[in-house]
Each structure stands twice: as structure tokens, then as C-alpha cells.
A and B are shown apart, each in its own frame.
Chain A
Amino acid sequence: MIKIIDLKKSFQGRDVLDGVNLTIEKGKITVIIGRSGEGKSVLIKHIIGLMKPDSGRILIDGDDMTALRERELNEVRKRFGMLFQGAALFDSMTVAENIGFPLVEHTNLDDEEVLKIVGEKLRRVGLEGVESLMPAQLSGGMKKRVGLARAIVMDPEIVLFDEPTSELDPVMSDSIADLVLETQQALHTTYAVITHDITLAYKIADRIAMLHGGRIIEEGSVEEMKSNENPIVRQFLEGRAQGPLKAY
């Protein structure tokens, strides 16, 4: 379980996170929604220790990520996988080398065993026979799938997703949503997804939390959020330009 307590972060005097409180439950998919620039990516980078908060705590099964030393932090990070917005595949490596990278770095498996696991993970994300391709030869959807395969290659307990359907067409977005659901159900992993794709949120979420003004303003199940009366949540979920949220 991930527990975020009163997390604050400001950049050049602007409070991006202004006291975020959120619990991400074990074995569930929690989707954090919010407008662009509201600090969703900043929040997810704090969870995995890529950024240090100004104040507040992030507890991963009791370990406070904000108080750990680099070496201890790395031990906790080994329990994580992360799919980046642009997949963040290493462009000097093949698909197989990308997916097998965490195994090569953190296990003593030989090349044959690594390739076997890479093949298994590729099949799980619906790709086969692409091991020798370079990232530049992949489509946007394929990159996301390879990124997901790399994120789950160490069988992590927690997987973080940064805008998994950004820059994808609706059909590809839906197939990624299916993939997120399938892998979560197969692996019973804790998934935390940040997105402003409401269709994706409705499809995969066990719980949805909305980040606005540096805080989580509402959270609940999909049905609870659909019936939420908060005008900011209503406007965002309905995708209307008119309302308290200003288009700028």
C-alpha cells in the first residue's frame, strides 16, 4: 500500500503540490486524474523517489520514501516498475535489451534465461518477434507495449503509469487500456495511473482521485465519481469548457 501524507512541492514560488493526501491500495488500480500542469507527473515522480518533496511523507508498506538514503531507496525501487509517457526506451538498445535491462542489472540470470523471460513478457503485452528491432522502428503503441513489458519484467509489486494513452489514437488507447487491465488481473499488482483520459480512467480504475490546485479534491470508485456533485469534477469528467475550470 502507498500512503501519501500532506505532500508539498513548489517550483519557483508556485505550489504545485500543496498538501496531497492519498492512499493507493494494494492490488488495485488507482487512477489519478487532473488537468495538464496540475502536478500529476510531479506526484508520480515523488512516489518513486525521482523528486524530493519540500515536506510530507510517502509510505510504501511503511518505508518512508522521503527519508531513505540512495542505497535504501534503490532497494525499494526494485519493487517498482514504471511506464513513462514516451515509454523512455533506451534508443541505443534493441527491444530485447531494453526489456531485459533490469534483469541484466539486478539478477545473475544468463543470456538465455533473460531472453526467455523477455519473450514471455513480450507475449503478455501482445507482441512477438520484435526482439531485435530498435525503438526507432516501433510505432507509438508498440513503444508503450515494450515499455510496459520492461516495467513488469522484474514482476514488481507496484507499477506506475505516466499518461499511458497519450499520443495514441482511440483504438490504440483502448487496446492499451485492455492490456493494463489484463496484466493487472494476471499479476495482482498495485497499479497507479496518472492520466487525463477519462475513457481510460472509467475503464480500468478501481478508484479515481482528482488532483486540482495541488490537492486531491475528490476520490472514490468509478460510480461514486460519476455521481460526484463537485462542479470542478463534473466539468472535468464531462470535458466542458464552461465552468469553474478556465481554459488557458
Chain B
Amino acid sequence: MIMKFLEAVGRRADGVVNATGSMAIMLGQAVMFAFVPPVKLRNIFKQMSFVGVESVYVVILTGTFTGMVLALQSFNALKRFGAESLVSPTVALSMARELGPVLTGLMVTGRAGSAMATELGTMRLTEQIDALVTMAVNPVRYLVTPRVIAGVTMFPLLTIIADFSGVVGGYVVGVKFLGINSAVYTGRIMDFVTVHDIFYGLKKSLVFGVITATVACFHGFYAKGGAEGVGRAATGSVVMGSILILMSDYLLSSLMTY
């Protein structure tokens, strides 16, 4: 009984170590190929469009509503201390340092990460990845590198959009619905929010971009077991991607704070 339990734990641990190692190797190769010609710009732009441009609407919506609810909640709390004028820096700092990068990461992992895993998983199961190999084309260079580059470049840009949307959403609620003075709302942001705060969030989003692209490509690349396997790859990429984003968010916050 105990032996069986230990065996199961060992197998599980072995699987986790294996997956982590394989993912690290895949990421290392993808990064190396990004600097070794020939670099196919067309593939990179296509992925940037998919990860970035096509995620803009969902990021704007997420950012706007998050900013709106932040403004509402912080207004109710700050009113008790007569500090309603601090609503806008609360919204802006929360968005820039934490919610902008994290929510963008989670939303884009759900949208683009699952799609990447599905696409690569389907390519694996229909032998399209094998076909690349037989045509002397390295599948990591062709499929993973453009996606990692797209993640690294687009996540920070999407985060800026989310930050701005959040501030605008907060403005609508704070100024239009709750009666905060417009000049106070914008002025307080200028007083309290620095460029450092914005870069603090952008650094995180860059890491989240790498995590999302690598996890999604890994799950798709090694998918097996027919249609069910592709489904598992998509689900696995979203679950693992989201967990890693939240874990690394804490880790990065700790590292950048001290």
C-alpha cells in the first residue's frame, strides 16, 4: 500500500521534472533560433498579429471593467477617511503594478495560449510536425520561436493598453458617476504614479509572455491521443500557464520589491 503510494508519487515527480526539463530545453532552443539566421519575419509578424492585435478587444474590456470596479470599491473605502481624491492613484497603481500585467497574462493565456496548444497539437497528430522534420525544417525554429517572440513583444504592449483602459474605466466611474473632480482625478495620477511603476508591470508582462508561449507550445508539441489529446493539451496549457503566471507574479514582486 505504502510502496504503491510512494511509486505513484515518484512517477508523478518524475513526470513533473521531465516536463520542466523538456520545456526549458524547448525555450532555450527557441531563444537560440531567434538570434541565428535565417529569421522568418513573416511567421513572427503573423504570430504577433494573432497574440497581440487579436487580443486587443478582450484586453480593453478586461482593463476597463477592472478599472471601473476598482474605482467603485476604492471610493467606498477611501470615503471613510475623506480621501476620495486618492481613488485615481489607487486605480492607476493597481493597474500598472499588478492587475494590468496579471489580468492581461491570464486573458491572453486563455485566448491565445489555448489556441496555440490546439494548433500545434493538431499539427502533431496529423503528422504536420513530422512533415516539417522530413523537409529539413526544425519545428522549434519554425513553430515555437515566432510564438515566443510574439509573447515577449506583445504582452507588454497589451499590458499598456490594459493599464490605460483601467484608468479610463476608473475615470468614467470616479468622475462621471461618483462626482470626483476631473482635474483631481488626472492630477493625482501625475502626483503618485511614476514611470518606474509602469516599467515594474511591464517587466512582469514580459515574463508572462514567455511563460504563456512556452507552456502552450510545449503542450501542443507533445500532444498525443487523438482529439481528446488535443483537448487535454489546450486545457493543460491554460491551467499550467495561469498557475505559473500567478506564482511567478508573486516571485517577481518579491524580487523587485527588495
Does A69 belong to the interface (CB within 8 Å)? no
A82–B131 contact, CB under 8 A?
yes
Q: A75 CA to B136 CA in the complex, in Å?
A: 7
Query: Across the A-B interface, how many residue pairs have beta carbons closer than 8 Å?
Result: 48
Are B126 and A86 in touch, CB under 8 angstroms? Answer: yes
Stretch of A98-106, A118-126, A192-200, A232-240 at the chain-chain interface: A98-106
**CB of B134 within 8 A of chain A?**
yes
Contacts of B197 in A (CB 8 A): none
Cβ of B128 and Cβ of A91 under 8 Å apart?
Answer: yes
How many residues on the A side are at the interface (Cβ–Cβ under 8 A)?
25
Residues of B within 8 A of A49 (CB): 133
Q: Distance in Å from the Cβ of A172 to the closest Cβ of chain B?
A: 20
CA distance A75 to B133 in the complex (A): 12
Q: Which residues of B contact A78 (CB under 8 A)?
A: 136
Q: Is A50 an interface residue (CB 8 A)?
A: yes
Range, interface on chain B: 10 to 19
Contact A90 B136 (CB under 8 A): no
Describe B's contact surface by its main secondary structure.
helix
A50 touches B130 (CB 8 A): yes
**CB atoms of B136 and A86 under 8 A apart:** no
| Beta-carbon contacts under 8 Å, A50-102 to B | 50, 70, 74-75, 77-78, 80-82, 84-86, 88-92, 101-102
B43 CB, min distance to chain A CBs, angstroms: 11
Q: Is the CB of B134 within 8 A of A90?
A: no
In the complex, how many angstroms separate the beta carbon of B225 from the nearest chain A beta carbon? 15
| B54 lies within 8 A of chain A by Cβ | no
User: Are B127's CB and A85's CB within 8 A?
Assistant: yes
User: What are 24 A-B pairs at a CB distance below 8 A?
Assistant: A45-B130, A48-B134, A49-B133, A70-B138, A74-B138, A75-B136, A77-B134, A77-B136, A78-B136, A81-B134, A84-B127, A84-B131, A85-B127, A86-B126, A86-B127, A89-B128, A90-B128, A90-B131, A101-B135, A101-B137, A102-B135, A105-B136, A105-B137, A160-B134
Binding site for A on B (CB under 8 A): 119, 122-123, 126-128, 130-131, 133-138
